[in-house]
Structure 1
Amino acid sequence: MLFFINLPGFETPKEKTQARELANLELQLDLLNKKMNEAEVVLHEIADRDNNLYRVYFEANPIPDEQRKAGFGGINRYKDLEGFDNSSLIVSSNKRLDILTKQIVVQSKSLDEIAIMAEEKEELLAAIPAIQPVNNEDLTRMASGYGYRTDPFTKARKFHFGMDFTAPRGTPVYASGDGTVTRADNSASGYGNHIRIEHGFGYESLYAHLYKYNVKRGYKVKRGDLIGFVGSTGRSEAPHLHYEVFKDGERINPINFYYGNLSPEEFADILKKSQAENQSLD
């Protein structure tokens, strides 16, 4: 008959195995916490760039810290992990892992939103009427700008809603932004042969007094595409392009949109000329 005596300091093979397994689990838990520390640092840096760079650039509200780092309310999610020797360590690690997972989900959704905004921003930048519709080397002069001018026919002082570019008949006219041609006809009073381009995002451009067209209604155009040629049709005193820009249905000053193809010196020169209160050509 065999007897096992439970002596202090004496471990059975089973206890030794359990002790090794427990030590291994503690080591793995410690490694997991170190990895979570690293992940938290990386995630913090991404969140900082997200709030202070990406979302600022795309004019989006930053995500508050309380939303990024929110815990979990309600019932005790970790009740099943209580009652063990290392319960506090296990519960703490699980809480960190759950919060970290939630932060990653929040950040992932934010980056998806940023990607959409970036795509829309690219479309917006292409759509804005950002170039002068007639090349500088083709201009005889910048005849008249946006503002009060003298009407060439009545000699009365009235508001001129566009810009007049004097150029020889047949000078190429270019689309100032990506968009769709909505009109290419002469049925609008005073404009003669004219083209309207709908750019999206509330922008529209108009090109009037043309000699002839190079596009038709419904054409898709890119910025810089040849759309027509300078003429003197409609209510016009001499060959020139009358150019207008609309935002949300309201005429705005086209001078603000020539950053796409003018140097600072050229822009300063045309700005000075456009502000002179002279006689318009239409």
Structure 2
Amino acid sequence: MSKVKYYYDSDTLSYRKIETKKQQKARNIFLLLLATGLLIFGGWFAISNSGIFPSPVELRQAREIENLKLQYEFLNKKMDQIDAVAENLQERDNNLYRIYFEANPIPDEQRKAGFGGINRYKDLEGADNSPLIINTTKRLEELQKQLVVQSKSLDEIKKLADDKEALLASIPAIQPIRNSDLTRMASGYGWRSDPFTKARKFHYGMDFTAPRGTPVFASGDGVIKRADNRSSGYGKHIRLDHGYGYMSLYAHLSKYNVKVGQKVERGDIIGYVGSTGRSQAPHLHYEVFKDGKKINPINFYYGNLTAEEFAAMLKIANQENQSLD
């Protein structure tokens, strides 16, 4: 119930009731509402700018920032996994592949070196999440560099493997006459009795007794350097250059199946057993050279002999008997 207001009338010497006109009442109500509205708007504006209650735009931006942070964290976890794989690959590269192919390991300082000089990440500074963005960018660049180093290392390993494959194919690694064609393995490398003078003489090769015309095989890939009878005592003989410092010699042949300059592969027939030159009976005299020095051929028969066959040959080769040349 609204209060009734009065005023004192001096003419009548009495109190009279104050009556408000309708227009004035409406104006008062309007002014009250306006003042209330201004008060509410001012309060809202002040609260909005105070940051206590974020705007819809700010809420959307905050959600986007949180989403980006989650993506960066996920990316860093992925890089942790890639780092583990890269470290495993680098360890095998240094301790297995490069050792096997006799290459120097790549030091960690070279694999994981950072980037010096000017600040590469200056453009990324100044934001609330700059440390996260800079750290992620730095890790990606370091990982990229490690992958480049590893890629070059694998290219080098591939070349070394190709060279190793060529080396393994070139080493004189098989017996030059098949076991099925042998009459016997007559004499080995070492001191033997000379068949002509009966004096004790060092025998620099191995003698394989076989019928005249038995095929003689190249013991490794190479190029024919000589195929003639112009070397004292060897008669018709072949010298096969395998590269990598290796050479093999096949003496007392009956005829050739190759010519000088011809490339041959392991297992190719290059000539036939005979008894030319200083020879007592049909056989193949076989020698192996490494860097110009004659070495024991028995150490190279891993390509086509079983363990039992090699043991039997080793026993015979070590006997100090009479050679055939």
Q: TM-score, normalised by structure 2?
A: 0.82
User: Could you say which residue in structure 2 is the equivalent of 1:174?
Assistant: 217
Paired amino acid for 2:161 = A
Q: Which moved more, 1:44-53 or 1:162-171?
A: 44-53
For 2:205 and 2:145, the matched residues in 1 are separated by 53
Matches of 2:114 and 2:250 in 1, distance apart?
A: 58
Residue matched to 1:140: 183
Secondary structure, aligned partner of 2:314:
helix
Aligned equivalent of 1:84: 127
- 2: CA distance between counterparts of 1:107 and 1:8? 51
Identity percentage over the alignment?
A: 71
Instruction: Specify the alignment match of 1:275 in structure 2.
Output: 318
Render the CA deviation track for 1:43-91: whole Å, top value 9, x for unaligned.
Answer: 1121122223222322222222232222223332222222221121122
Q: Distance in 2 between matches of 1:176 and 1:7?
A: 91
Q: Does 1:209 align with 2:252?
A: yes
SS in 1 for 2:242: strand
Instruction: Trace 1:183-202 onto structure 2 (pairs within 5 A).
Output: 183-202=226-245
Residue from 238, 244, 260 that aligns with 2:303: 260
The structure whose residues are more often helix, as a share, is 2
Which deviates more, 141-150 or 60-69? 60-69
More deviation in 128-137 or 18-27? 18-27
- Count of residue pairs brought into register by the alignment: 282
In 2: Cα distance, 1:49 partner to 1:134 partner: 41
| Map of 1:10 onto structure 2 | 53
Partner of 2:80: 37
Is 1:154 matched with 2:158? no
Aligned counterpart in structure 2 of residue 97 of structure 1, from 104, 128, 140: 140
| Matched position secondary structure for 1:77 | coil
Q: 1:201-242 CA deviation, whole Å, 9 max, x = no partner?
A: 111111000001111112211111111110000111111100
Greater Cα offset, 9-18 or 104-113:
9-18
Which residue of the partner structure matches residue 292 of structure 2? 249
Q: Deviations over 1:13-69 (max 9, x none)?
A: 442343233223212211211211111111112112222322232222222223222
Bigger shift: 84-93 or 10-19?
10-19
Partner of 1:71: 114
Structure 2: stretches of 5+ with no match in the other structure: 1-37
In structure 2, C-alpha distance between the alignment counterparts of 1:135 and 1:123, rounded to whole Å: 24
Q: 2:156 aligns with which of 113, 117, 137?
A: 113
Query: 2:116, 2:293 → 1: CA distance?
Result: 51
Q: Which structure is larger by alpha-carbon Rg, 1 or 2?
A: 2
Is 1:232 matched with 2:264? no
What secondary structure does 1:117 align onto?
A: helix
* TM-score normalised by structure 1 residue count: 0.94
1:229-277 deviation line (CA, Å, top 9, x unaligned): 1000011111110001111111111000001111111111111111111
Provide the rounded CA distance (Å) in 2 between the counterparts of 1:249 and 1:90. 63
CA–CA distance in structure 2, aligned partners of residues 249 and 16 of structure 1: 84
User: SS of the counterpart of 1:155?
Assistant: coil
User: What is the aligned counterpart of 1:57 among 100, 104, 111?
Assistant: 100
User: How much is the aligned-residue C-alpha RMSD, in angstroms?
Assistant: 1.8
1:19 alignment counterpart: 62
Q: 153-162 or 225-234, which moves further after superposition?
A: 153-162
Task: Specify the SS of the correspondent of 1:228.
Answer: strand
Distance (whole Å) between structure 1 residues aligned to residue 143 and residue 53 of structure 2: 43
Q: Which residue of 1 aligns with 2:174?
A: 131
- CA shift, 1:7, in A, is 4.0
- What is the deviation of 1:193? 0.6
4+ aligned runs moved over 4 Å, structure 1? 1-4
